[in-house]
Amino acid sequence: MKILYSVQATGNGHISRATELVPYLQRYGLVDVFLSGANSQLKHDLPVKYRSKGLSLFYSKNGGLQYGKIVSQLNFPGIIKAARELPVQNYDVIINDFECITSIACAFRKIPSVNFGHQASFYSDLVPRPAQKEIMGEFLLKNYARASQYMGLHFERYDDFIYEPVIKKEILESKPRNKGHITVYLSAYGDEVLTAEFARLSNFNFELFSKNVKTPVTIGNVKLMPVSQRLFNESMINSYGVITGAGFETPAEVMHLGKKLMVIPIGGQYEQKCNAAALEKMGVTVVPALDNNFHGSFLEWIGSSNTIVKNYSNNIPDILGNLFDNYPSGRVGLDLLYPELMIG
């Protein structure tokens, strides 16, 4: 069996999940990976056969998206060309983790595929959303990578096609300890913004993961660490608590480890607002932004005894068993996946 696994590389979470899944997928057959996007900083040994710049996200230093830079690197003719050249017809199974080129390629060739991952869960209206829904955000989550079948991942099983998170083996097998530091990963903020804010909290020690350092650098009570899966896992496992964006994989792992968790959603990213709504409903501390109120919010969080614990397990065999047992069949073309593109 030949399997194409298309992975969105606009963040580290997709790469991290793929690293866990590929060894299991290889039990079913030959796996080729299509990597699209250029934001992930994680090193990996995935069997990448195809690459594309795709659509990458760019952040300002103050927690928001750089929309001008995102729009400037859009290349619709290039995306269509890449979709026509991607040989999806050579594969028996196509698994798509929120990657638009593969979706379009499958539509062109009338080939079924499975949209698998966190974003796929948003096809259910039972998944929590913020009080104020965003029309464009909802549209992108549901239309960026259409498929003929969806298998979602989320913090809880909100619907029958949604599964609990895929947790890294190292996290599942770890023995958490408390060495007193706070692990921080806030990729949408500049190092200078974060170190200045944490310097005000001089009674606490922070391990801040930064894409700008190659080796650990200590500035006062802040230790800047290079982005590394091994170092980050070790820091989380041995932390008192974790402050991170309202992504998916990291908050799930923090709750599994039984650590205190604070999330700060990336400004302008609707998916993170949705995740924040889900986490807040579960009792996790959500802070809207790193602003003048952060100092008080941090001290309140530290002083609270509230810690959300989730006992996740290795669910990869069950997920892939269901995926292959129920893989979609039949021809699925542009007329079904993208009817708005049809004329007449």
pLDDT (average), residues 204-224: 96
Structure tokens at 259: 């650590």
Distance (Å, rounded) from C-alpha 99 to C-alpha 35? 9
- CA-closest candidate to residue 105, choices 78, 85, 122, 120: 85
Q: Within a domain: residue 309?
A: no
pLDDT score, position 71: 58
Q: Within a domain: residue 333?
A: yes
pLDDT (average), residues 138-157: 94
Whether the pLDDT of residue 54 is over 60: the answer is yes
Shared-domain flag, residues 228 and 140: no
Q: Within a domain: residue 60?
A: yes
pLDDT (average), residues 230-241: 97
Return the CATH number at 45: 3.40.50
Q: Within a domain: residue 310?
A: no
Shared-domain flag, residues 113 and 177: no
Any bridge partners for residue 261, and if so which? 242
Q: Among 50-54, 222-226, 268-272, whose mean pLDDT is lowest?
A: 50-54
Whether the pLDDT of residue 68 is over 80: the answer is no
Whether the pLDDT of residue 176 is over 60: the answer is yes
Shared-domain flag, residues 75 and 175: no
165 half-sphere exposure, CB direction, 13 A CA radius: 25
- CA-closest candidate to residue 236, choices 286, 284, 190, 175: 175
CA 126 to chain centre: 20
Shared-domain flag, residues 22 and 100: yes
pLDDT score, position 79: 87
Q: Which residues contact 185 (CB under 8 A, 6 or more apart)?
A: 208, 209, 232, 242, 243, 244, 245, 250
Shared-domain flag, residues 191 and 135: no
Whether the pLDDT of residue 344 is over 50: the answer is no
Shared-domain flag, residues 80 and 190: no
Shared-domain flag, residues 187 and 160: no
Task: Give me the torsion for CA of 188, 190, 194, 199, rounded to 10°.
Answer: 180
pLDDT score, position 73: 62
Shared-domain flag, residues 253 and 321: no
Return the CATH number at 219: 3.40.50.2000
Q: Please, what is the average pLDDT of the chain? A: 90
SS3 249: helix
Q: Within a domain: residue 39?
A: yes
pLDDT (average), residues 220-231: 95
Q: Which residues contact 14 (CB under 8 A, 6 or more apart)?
A: 7, 8, 40, 97, 98, 117
pLDDT score, position 264: 97
Structure tokens at 312: 């996740």
pLDDT (average), residues 136-142: 90
Q: Within a domain: residue 58?
A: yes
Environment class of residue 270 by beta-carbon count within 10 Å: exposed (0-12), middle (13-18) or buried (19+)? buried
To the nearest whole percent, how much of the chain has pLDDT over 70? 87
Shared-domain flag, residues 144 and 230: no
* Residue 227 belongs to domain spanning: 169-303
- CA-closest candidate to residue 171, choices 3, 43, 313: 313
Structure tokens at 40: 């992930």
- Provide the H-helix boundaries in the chain: 12-25, 67-72, 76-85, 100-109, 135-143, 169-172, 191-199, 229-237, 249-257, 270-282, 294-303, 316-325, 334-337
Q: Within a domain: residue 308?
A: no
Whether the pLDDT of residue 41 is over 90: the answer is no
More confident residue, 86 or 267: 86
Whether the pLDDT of residue 342 is over 50: the answer is no
Whether the pLDDT of residue 12 is over 90: the answer is no
SS3 270: helix
Whether the pLDDT of residue 142 is over 80: the answer is yes
pLDDT in tens, 91-110: 999 999 999 999 999 999 99
Distance (Å, rounded) from C-alpha 197 to C-alpha 184? 12
Shared-domain flag, residues 216 and 144: no
Shared-domain flag, residues 152 and 115: yes
Structure tokens at 65: 């998206």
pLDDT score, position 88: 97
How would residue 306 be classed by pLDDT, with cut points 50, 70 and 90? Answer: confident
pLDDT score, position 165: 97
Q: Within a domain: residue 255?
A: yes
How many domains does the chain divide into? 2
Shared-domain flag, residues 203 and 159: no
pLDDT score, position 334: 52
